[in-house]
Amino acid sequence: MTKLRFSRKQLCIPYAVFLILFVIAPLIVILYYAFTNGEGKFSFSNFSNFFTSTNTLGTLFYSFGLAIVTTLVCLIIAYPTAYILARSNIKKKYVLLMLFVLPMWINFTLRITALKEILSVLEGNISKYPFLNSVIGMTYDFLPFMLLPLYTSLQKMDNSLLEAASDLGANRVTVFLRVTLPLSVPGIISGMTMVLLPSMTNYVVLDMLYNSEYIMGSLIGSYFSAYDWHNGSMISLVLLVIIFIVTLVTNRFSDKEANTRGSML
């Protein structure tokens, strides 16, 4: 029996080794490169470059601004949608939900191409509204990431709680504000993280919609093209720290079950 337990456990060795070699080691290398210069000597210059340059700091703020606006727009569109879908008693609810997330499986560059054509028709010259178009593009891309966790948390909500609240005299608005909304906070937090982080980095959406502003991802892209591994690593490190903080803060609240991309499958 002990021998058999041992052999079953051993099955995880290849995967553990794989994760250490190709997930952890690359991150350690990033840390090393962020604090060294071209000659391999320890240096703070990449660090000070990032935090003293108005260019990179401006990029950081622009990224945050774009990401926060995108996240809020996604939330405003997705919450009522998820609420209606989860609370309604339509028979084929599952099929309807499918309709909302189905585009997720079409390559995002092709979807943005389609959106770009429509925006060109509506706006004439799309380079006139770079910020607006980037928000629309990212919302178009990331809406399902917001919708799914919200739907999951609203769907599994215990109906008797809502009935109890209205039996005890709460009107519909109070029931929503005091019961439904607080109970859906985990879904909101999950959805927000899943939109916030990609919208700080997915510079392809901006490129394709002719927004020449930089976001954090574009900095990595431009350092990559310039073979500047050290400054590129610094940007990656800054992103890692942001991701780490966001994960730490949200882990408390977020809905573990709804936290994965494509949890529909």
Tell the smallest beta-carbon distance from residue 15 to other proteins (Å).
3
Distance CA 215, CA 61 (A): 9
What amino acid occupies position 167?
D
Pick 180 or 201: Cβ nearer other proteins: 201
Which DSSP string corresponds to 79-142?
HHHHHHHHH---TTHHHHHHHHHGGGGS-HHHHHHHHHHHHHHHHSSGGG-HHHHHHHHHHHHH
Q: Residue 99 or residue 168: which is nearer to other proteins going by CB?
A: 99
Shortest reach from residue 11's CB to other proteins, in Å: 4
Our CB check for other proteins shows the closer of 51 and 224 to be 224
| Minimal distance, residue 207 CB to other proteins, in Å | 7
Nearer to other proteins, 101 or 188 (CB): 101
Using a 10 angstrom Cβ sphere, with 0-12 exposed, 13-18 middle and 19 or more buried, the burial of residue 259 is: buried
C-alpha dihedral (110, 113, 115, 117), degrees to nearest 10: -140
With respect to other proteins, which residue has the nearer C-beta, 51 or 244? 244
- The CB-of-86 to other proteins minimum distance in angstroms stands at 12
| 166-174 contacts, C-beta under 8 A, 24 or more apart | none
What's the min distance (Å) between Cβ of 72 and other proteins? 16
